[in-house]
Amino acid sequence: MTFVAGPVRVRVPATSANLGPGFDTLGLALDLRDELEAEVLPDGLVVEVTGYGAGEVPLDEDHLVLRAMRATFDRLGKQPTGLRLTCANVIPHARGLGSSSAAIVGGVWLARELVAGGRLLLDDAALLDLAAQLEGHPDNVAPALLGGFVISGQDADGAFWAVPAGVDPRIGAVVFIPPSPLSTEAARGLIPAAVPHADAAANAGRAALLVAALSGRPEELLRATEDRLHQDYRRPAMPTSLALVDALRADGVPAVVSGAGPTVLAFADGPGTAATDALLARCPDGWDARALVISSTGAVVVH
Which tens digits make up the pLDDT trace of 239-271? 999 999 999 999 999 999 999 999 999 999 877
Q: Report the distance separating Cα 231 and Cα 123, nearest Å.
A: 36
Residue 46: the pLDDT is: 97
**Confidence (pLDDT) at 271:** 79
Mean per-residue pLDDT for 126-153?
96
Q: Average pLDDT of 39-68? A: 96
End-to-end CA distance of the chain: 23
Query: Would the annotation count 152 as a binding residue?
Result: no
Please tell me whether 97 is known to bind a ligand.
Answer: yes
Residue 296 known to bind ligand: no
Select the more confidently predicted residue: 67 or 181: 67
Say how far residue 184 (Cα) sits from the centre of its chain: 12
Domain ranges of the chain: 8-165+296-301, 172-292
CB atoms within 10 A of CB 173: 24
Q: Is 101 annotated as a binding residue?
A: yes
Q: Tell me the CATH class for 172-292.
A: alpha beta
pLDDT (0 to 100) of residue 189: 83
pLDDT of residue 303: 79
Q: Is the pLDDT of residue 138 over 90?
A: yes
CA distances, 254 to each of 7, 144, 214, 292 (Å)? 42, 23, 12, 15
pLDDT in tens, 7-38: 999 999 999 999 999 999 999 999 999 999 99
Instruction: State whether CATH 3.30.230.10 applies to domain 8-165+296-301.
Output: yes
Residues 6+ apart with CB under 8 A from 231: 20, 242, 245, 256, 257
The answer on whether 98 is annotated among ligand-binding residues is: yes
The predicted structure's pLDDT at residue 270: 75
DSSP one-letter string for the chain: --BPSS-EEEEEEEEEEETTTEEEEEEEEEEEEEEEEEEEESSEEEEEEEETTTTTS-SSTTSHHHHHHHHHHHHHT---SEEEEEEEE-SPTTSSS-HHHHHHHHHHHHHHHHBTTHHHHS-HHHHHHHHHHHHSSSTTHHHHHH-SEEEEEE-TTS-EEEEEE---TT-EEEEEE-SS---HHHHHTTS-S---HHHHHHHHHHHHHHHHHHHH-GGGHHHHT--SSSTGGGGGG-HHHHHHHHHHHHTT--EEE-TTSS-EEEEES-TTSHHHHHHHTTPPTT-EEEEEPBPS--SEE--
Whether residue 100 is annotated as binding a ligand: the answer is yes
16 is in an annotated binding site: no
Confidence at 161, pLDDT banded by 50, 70, 90:
very high
Predicted pLDDT at 185? 79
Q: How high is the mean pLDDT of the chain?
A: 95
In contact, 75 and 108? CB cutoff 8 Å: no
Render pLDDT for 162-217 as a digit per residue (tens, 0 to 9). 999 999 999 999 999 999 988 877 777 888 888 899 999 999 999 999 999 999 99
Is 106 marked as a binding-site residue?
no
Q: What percent of the chain has pLDDT over 90?
A: 91
Closest CA to 231 of 71, 13, 61, 20: 20
In this prediction, residue 269 carries a pLDDT of: 86
Residue 182 has a pLDDT of 82
Q: Is 93 annotated as a binding residue?
A: yes
| pLDDT tens-digit series, residues 228-239 | 999 999 999 999
Phi, psi of 146 (to 5 degrees): -100, -25
